[in-house]
A and B are shown apart, each in its own frame.
Chain A
Amino acid sequence: MNAGRGDQSHLVRTLRERPAHGCCRTLVCGLAMGIIACLAAARQAAADDTAAEEQAAFAAAVARVAPSVVQIETVGGKEQVEGVLLGTGPTTGLIVDSDGYIISSAFNFIGKPASIVVRLPGGTRKAARLVATDHARMLVLLKIDAGRPLPTCAIAARAGMHVGQWAIAVGRTFQGDRPNMAVGVLSALDRVWGRAIQTDAAVSPNNYGGPLVDIHGRVMGVLAPLSPQAGEVAGVDLYDSGIGFAVPAEDIQRVLPRLKKGEDLQPGLAGMSIKGANQFTAPPIVAACRTNSPAAVAGIKVGDRIVELGGRAITRAIQIRDEFGRRYSGDKVSITVVRDNKETRSELQLVATLEPFQHGFLGVLPMRGDAEKGVAVRYVYPKSPAAAAGIVADDILTSLGGEPVRERGELIQAIGMFEPGSEVELGVLRGDARRTVKVTLGTIPEELPPDELPAAWQQSQASATKTTQGRGQAGTPGQQFGAMRLKIAEYDNKVWAYVPAGYDPARAYGVVVWLHAPGGYDWKELLARWQPLCDRHDLILVAPKSSEAARWMPEEAGLVDRLLMHVGATYHIDPARVVVHGYEGGGAMAFLTAFRNRQMIRAVAAVQATPVGAAPENDPLHRLAVYLAAGDKTLADGPIGKAAAAMRRMKIPVTTKSLGQGTRYLNADELSQLARWIDMLDRI
């Protein structure tokens, strides 16, 4: 079982011994010229031998596995998945059990073929059925009834594998009865969250599903397109790029009994997240823990430091991802955490799906100035938990669970971490009277905003900053006010923007990115519509034009990211009110952009647009709210209604606005209402 390194050093040794023989003979001759000539010849011969021996070893290695490498043919099924055209050609599988069990790459079956036929070496065809799918490692198990024991292969131990050793990828997809091979080396171990080994041998649909073997013909893994990105076809774009993946054979053997029983395997989820933007350096401290998740059931709490997982000592956040990444739903993992300097050991059992997270909601809008004593209440939602607890406007929220709160963003995040139904203790200051109230949190409302909203700034505060700061004196480089053009390097798109002329650096401004419908937009019209709203609600409007007037290209989502970064670096931005707003195709683009950039974008406001892509997971740390305006019919049961329902299932609050019969944009009143909706995004 000790494959890999040992074998290769053996090869190297035999090669080194040969020239030495040559040398001895020439020395006996005693002729200086002869020595030199013979040495050169010997070296040439030795090198020739190296190539010849390696070549023979490759062929022998392939010959050892060839009887277990089968060709798979399929009939029927989809022709395209996720925009990737599926082939109809034969693919490869590997016999892993003499009873007729065959492992192959799930990529070969994503079209869900009507029937599967396995062609054994020699040409016999057998009908096959798909027994189970491993969704974590993108493999499938097939079964045929061959009527005789089938040959299986020796397995290379994972422990004996070393980067740099020979690796030969074997497939059986070409005409004739010969396997095809590609030679390379092992490039890396523990790739794609510990699920794969990597090779530079050419890996493509020509050998997906076939084995990656060592120089002795032992199976190291099964070739499959993999990628850290999710998706059924992820990783296919890497074909023949020098990057190929194989799922270690040992891992497959371990789960084979489960697959044979027909159990589909899913990636295992624990339901907790770790603090810190950089997983590679962040300490392994729990930042959030889902209700009813395996982590919560195991008693893990926010603030716990993880020190052990599945027997491995943990010092950095990234190790946690790797440990969970290699495991399946149903797997049990030991976990040790440190809380208050005490170690607690428990065990959690991973699950395939978590109940979607839902943010807790208190029912207030905060004032936006930094009150010294806490967060001042701007508005109390009627019938909200806050109203029930007797909180009124102008109260100051001073503490949560005994911890002082100083800042609006902090309180939004802290309350959001609790799920609805949780009871929290709030410190409330009214005048000079302090008290503590217990509030059972509710859910973020989906209603349209009221007709009037109190100001987000206390009169005194606003006027004070006005006089001291004044307009345009903040001194940040590149700051301009009013209507302007923006230019982002690398993008040719024309971009207009409006920053309220009375910009006050003490205030935090929301950002509205406008993504126009096909055909572009007229800046003067757009500005006339938005300028009063921007001024009233402290909003910055950014309006890029698509590079092709007729449509947005998915790559242009990157432009929106860059614009947001630029605006964020130049102006004082309120991270709770960053919105992408689009009409028709621009609305679809808004969803695409927001689903990708959860870090920065807090809301999507789409008019007459169908969301594209699957509804994203709700995220405790990054809230997302959706506003959908469309005609009655499409809202009710059209694709827009369906997408809204899907997002609600993920517990993302969706506010809908009916536009009656029409397929039009918002009128002036409706647009003011949308602006108020945006104004309320910093709700707590």
Chain B
Amino acid sequence: MKTLLHRIVLILTVILIAAAAGGAPVVATVDQVQPKVVKVYGAGGVQGMANYQSGIVISATGHVLTTFSHVLDTDYIDVVLSDGRKFSAKLLGADPRLEVAVLKIDATGLPWFDLAKATDAEAGTRILCFSNIFSVAMGDEQASVQRGTVAVRTRLEARRGVFETPYRGPVYVLDVTTNNPGAAGGALVSFRGELLGVLGKELRNSLNNTWLNYAVPISELRESVEEILAGKFVARRDAPEKKPERPLNLAALGIVLVPDMLERTPPYVDRVQPASVAAKAGMQPDDLILLCGDRLTQSCKALQAELQGLDYEDPVKLTVLRGQQLIEFTLQSVGPATSKKGQP
């Protein structure tokens, strides 16, 4: 609870600073953006799961772009416009891979964001975020505005388990604490009011145990949203991870690692089998295998997992630390003698 309070105080501070630092363009932008931001209510409200989030109007006729989340997991979704008008919403469609959904409400003549006019931003772009964080705004109260900067445009680390989201594409990381309950689906805009992205969910970075504040660029969502609007959306699946038929392993290379005793045992070489590929290449006991290809291997398990993704006959680049030297080896398993097939 303490951290929640922390965060609320922080957000309020940020809002105050934003107000103070705003100036003319920010004020004009806020006036122009607020009518296009909505509050979305749906499922949740138990076990600390919020039953609210945010959305943005993307057509004059009541199409609302929001985040695909548990909040939409109900037949009763409500959308409350910035003027306080409340509508029941229908879920038109969603792309779970991008965690994006489109809702439809029976309204016309709404101010709206034209996704076709959305632009891109780079690190350093000054931004405003509009969302209903912590459900502070009620009825005709407008979304909370936060001010910040794009910290970096990056990709979410593709390694499994780092981020709990199916999305693996580019994101804007923000330098302001935006991604709190209710923020998902909110608008990320430039100081001039150009739409840049949609605020994401709460996401923890398991690499350094921090919360990630991010938004997904509109350019990543546009195609799916247009297909949903046109009624032509077909859920895509990520190409299934290619599992090699005969995955590579350490034994095939002649490498024996130290016993794997810890959660993250550093992958030190214990022994190199005589006359093996590794021995011929010059690998030695006590070498620490740091990289497999270009991927850091922080543990025996991580190294084994990397090799699993390679085929038996693929060459593999291993970089080892020996003393203070980084040494690169490219190894290619000859395959076990017994499985040499296709002999004429």
Instruction: Report how far A205 CA is from B210 CA in the complex, Å.
Output: 7
A79–B25 touching, CB < 8 Å = no
- Chain B residues in 8 Å Cβ range of A280: none
Shortest distance in angstroms between A513's beta carbon and chain B's nearest beta carbon? Answer: 26
Instruction: Report how far A58 CA is from B13 CA in the complex, Å.
Output: 22
Task: Judge if A346 is at the interface, Cβ distance under 8 Å.
Answer: no
Task: Judge if A548 is at the interface, Cβ distance under 8 Å.
Answer: no
- Chain A residues in 8 Å Cβ range of B122: 59
B149–A182 touching, CB < 8 Å = yes
Shortest distance in angstroms between B138's beta carbon and chain A's nearest beta carbon? Answer: 26
Task: Judge if A178 is at the interface, Cβ distance under 8 Å.
Answer: yes
Q: Tell me which of B24, B123, B290, B299 contacts A181 (CB under 8 A).
A: B123
A180–B173 touching, CB < 8 Å = yes
A206–B25 touching, CB < 8 Å = no
- Chain A residues in 8 Å Cβ range of B152: 174, 176, 178-181
Task: Judge if A547 is at the interface, Cβ distance under 8 Å.
Answer: no
A-B pairs with beta carbons under 8 Å apart, 12 shown: A44-B24, A44-B28, A62-B124, A75-B290, A79-B264, A87-B206, A87-B207, A181-B152, A183-B149, A183-B175, A202-B177, A241-B10
A174–B319 touching, CB < 8 Å = no
Q: Tell me which of A59, A184, A239 contacts B210 (CB under 8 A).
A: A239
- Chain B residues in 8 Å Cβ range of A642: none
Task: Tell me which of B126, B210, B288 has the highest count of chain A C-beta atoms within 10 A of its own C-beta.
Answer: B210
Whose C-beta in chain B lies nearest to the C-beta of A205?
B208
Shortest distance in angstroms between B136's beta carbon and chain A's nearest beta carbon? Answer: 18
Interface string of A24-50 (1 = CB under 8 A from B): 000000000000000000011011101
Task: Judge if A499 is at the interface, Cβ distance under 8 Å.
Answer: no
Shortest distance in angstroms between A92's beta carbon and chain B's nearest beta carbon? Answer: 11
Instruction: Report how far A227 CA is from B73 CA in the complex, Å.
Output: 44
B319–A125 touching, CB < 8 Å = yes
Q: Tell me which of A76, A87, A126, A201 contacts B209 (CB under 8 A).
A: A87
- Chain A residues in 8 Å Cβ range of B19: none
A58–B149 touching, CB < 8 Å = yes
Task: Judge if B51 is at the interface, Cβ distance under 8 Å.
Answer: no
A242–B321 touching, CB < 8 Å = no
Instruction: Report how far A599 CA is from B321 CA in the complex, Å.
Output: 52
A206–B210 touching, CB < 8 Å = yes
Q: Tell me the B residues contacting A by CB distance below 8 Å.
A: 6, 10, 13-14, 17, 23-25, 28, 122-126, 148-149, 151-158, 173, 175-177, 191-192, 205-211, 263-267, 288, 290-291, 296-299, 319, 321, 324-326
Task: Judge if A54 is at the interface, Cβ distance under 8 Å.
Answer: yes
Shortest distance in angstroms between A365's beta carbon and chain B's nearest beta carbon? Answer: 46
Instruction: Report how far A442 CA is from B247 CA in the complex, Å.
Output: 74
A90–B298 touching, CB < 8 Å = no
Q: Tell me which of A90, A176, A181, A184 contacts B207 (CB under 8 A).
A: A90
Task: Judge if A127 is at the interface, Cβ distance under 8 Å.
Answer: yes
A73 with B10: in contact, given A87-B209, A180-B151, A180-B173 (CB under 8 Å)? no
B126–A240 touching, CB < 8 Å = no
- Chain B residues in 8 Å Cβ range of A178: 123, 152-154
Task: Judge if A18 is at the interface, Cβ distance under 8 Å.
Answer: no
Q: Tell me which of A47, A62, A125, A240 contacts B211 (CB under 8 A).
A: A240
- Chain B residues in 8 Å Cβ range of A54: 126
Interface string of A219-262 (1 = CB under 8 A from B): 00000000000000000000111100000000000000000000
Q: Tell me which of B10, B173, B192, B288 contacts A242 (CB under 8 A).
A: B10
Task: Judge if A489 is at the interface, Cβ distance under 8 Å.
Answer: no
- Chain B residues in 8 Å Cβ range of A182: 149, 151, 175
Instruction: Report how far A175 CA is from B152 CA in the complex, Å.
Output: 10
B208–A176 touching, CB < 8 Å = no
Interface string of A341-363 (1 = CB under 8 A from B): 00000000000000000000000
Given A202-B176, A240-B177, A240-B210: 13 more A-B contacts, CB < 8 Å: A73-B296, A75-B290, A76-B298, A89-B205, A117-B290, A125-B319, A175-B155, A176-B155, A178-B153, A183-B124, A183-B126, A202-B175, A241-B6
